[in-house]
């Protein structure tokens, strides 16, 4: 949705940005996470659930040590003052690694094409 909004508003010098944070030490996988069928020992998803829980715990241990939530706040302030910020802004090492897998040049060409469509 934000990406489409950017294409529509860039003609008016409004640059919508996507801030894409990686994992930060929050409660998203803690008390705010619904258990679903995790207690059902017969569920075909039980093994997957346990593996995901284990992975989430490891990621949160890493995030508590290395991820700085202030980085997101600082980026918001920086982008609010920027003249023509780019579309995507990953925050955190894991977000940057994920973004590195995306074909950046193709995304830039797509943005240029869409921007030009909305300007005509």
Full-model pTM: 0.64
The reported pLDDT for the residue numbered 106 is 65
Which tops the pLDDT comparison, 117 or 35? Answer: 117
Lowest mean pLDDT among 14-23, 39-48, 51-60, 108-117: 108-117
State the SS3 of the chain: CHHHHHHHHHHHCCCCCEEEECCCCCCCCCCCCCCCCCCCCCCCCHHHHHHHHHHHHHHHHHHHHHCCCHHHHHHHHHHHHCCCCCCEEEECHHHHHHHHCCCHHHHHHHHHHHHHHHHC
Which tops the pLDDT comparison, 33 or 114? Answer: 114
Interval 67-103: pLDDT, tens: 788 889 999 999 999 999 999 898 887 777 767 766 6
Which tops the pLDDT comparison, 91 or 44? Answer: 91
């Amino acid at each position: 949705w934000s990406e489409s909004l950017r294409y529509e508003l860039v003609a008016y010098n409004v640059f919508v940005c996507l801030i894409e944070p990686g994992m930060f030490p929050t409660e998203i996988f803690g008390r705010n996470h619904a258990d679903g069928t995790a207690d059902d020992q017969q569920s075909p998803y039980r093994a997957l659930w346990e593996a995901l829980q284990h992975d989430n715990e490891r990621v949160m241990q890493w995030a508590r040590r290395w991820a700085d939530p202030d980085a997101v706040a600082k980026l918001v302030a920086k982008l609010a003052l920027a003249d023509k910020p780019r579309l995507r802004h990953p925050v955190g090492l894991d977000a940057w690694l994920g973004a590195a897998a995306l074909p950046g040049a193709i995304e830039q060409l797509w943005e240029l094409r869409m921007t030009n469509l909305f300007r005509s």
